[in-house]
Structure 1
Amino acid sequence: MDLPQLSDDVEERLDLLQHVAEVLCIDDPSDFSSYSSAITQLTTDSLSAQKLLNRLQFIEHELQTHLAATRVEQRLLAKWNSALEADRGDEQGSAAMIERRKEDLVRKAKEYHEELKAVLKAMPDTPPVSVARLTEQENRNKTREQELKTKRAKIKAFKGLPPNLDLARHELRNARDELGKLTQLRERLLGRMAEGVS
């Protein structure tokens, strides 16, 4: 019995599925759990590789820092050696000249030391920001923004009244007492005015 002829599209998809199964080392392409396990393993391997890459970048950064410090020290040593050789070549100098050169060398050594400290200080101490840290910070920022929105909505609902309900009632009571006192004062004034007219 001849098998039915498959269309080009179906054959292409079957070839692609077979290729994926070979790449993922799946023995039974019809079993979906094999794909799921293989994809999970790939994800785990990818995360491990990313961690290793982050560690290697940090080590590279430290090595570059040490290399920069070593280059500065090498340059300082070369300058000091040339200065000392110049001093050795000039044996006819007086004691005052030798003392002056010694002071110059000490001053230059201090300058180079300060330069080295500045270079080391300019080097960043922390590794570059990772994707995981950036994601965590974004999540924290979103949570804080949501909290701020909630608090603003609560404050807006009170329309200027204090958010404490007991305090708001107390202020309302005080305002009513003041209104009562003003009403009594108005009545007394009107009564006096009526007495004065009659």
Structure 2
Amino acid sequence: MNRLLDYMPELDIALPPGALAPAAAFASAHDADAEMAYGAELLEAGAGNGAALAPFLAGLVARSGPAGRAALRRPLGRALMKALLQSAMALLPFDSKAAQQRAAAIFGLELEGLSPEDKEFALARQFIRLARELIDGALASGAAGAQQDAADAESRVQAALQQAARKHAPGLLHRAAQQEPAGGRWQRSGKRIVVLNC
């Protein structure tokens, strides 16, 4: 009996080159747990009239740490919330077959064989991945400074959104390109003019 209690199988496992170390594996598992919890919260927040959606998204920004909480009081936070809400409104709700097919195409996911509830949850998790990447990208851009103007915050958030969409929702970029008027789009960023989607 003591031999069974003393046996520690994790010590017998040789990790192949490039495999996750135990601490990294734990962090990855923690991220997956958080992603599932946020996905469930998103589905609740997006249900009904969606009045709980903005507070949920603000909470997601705040949970990213002190930089996220500080950003919510500045132009970056307003630009970030606008981008998150627009993205959510373009994708939610996930509760009908047509909505699930549209969202799956935007996210580039294959959901065949899943139950409607599992499809809904998979789409919610993918939106959380997109949102977290967008938040992290915007905060990492150094755009949280108190002196930043609204145009600069907007351009930094749009750059972070494009980067996040390339990875997690390529259909959003395609959709935005279809909605662009001929001649492209530009916006002022401080003393610069930034040409978008050229």
* Same fold, judged at TM 0.5 (above): no
- Higher fraction of strand: 2
Q: Which has the higher contact order (CA 8 A, sep 6+)?
A: 2
TM-score, with structure 1 as normaliser? 0.22
Q: Which has the higher helix share?
A: 1
Query: TM-score with structure 2 length normalisation?
Result: 0.22
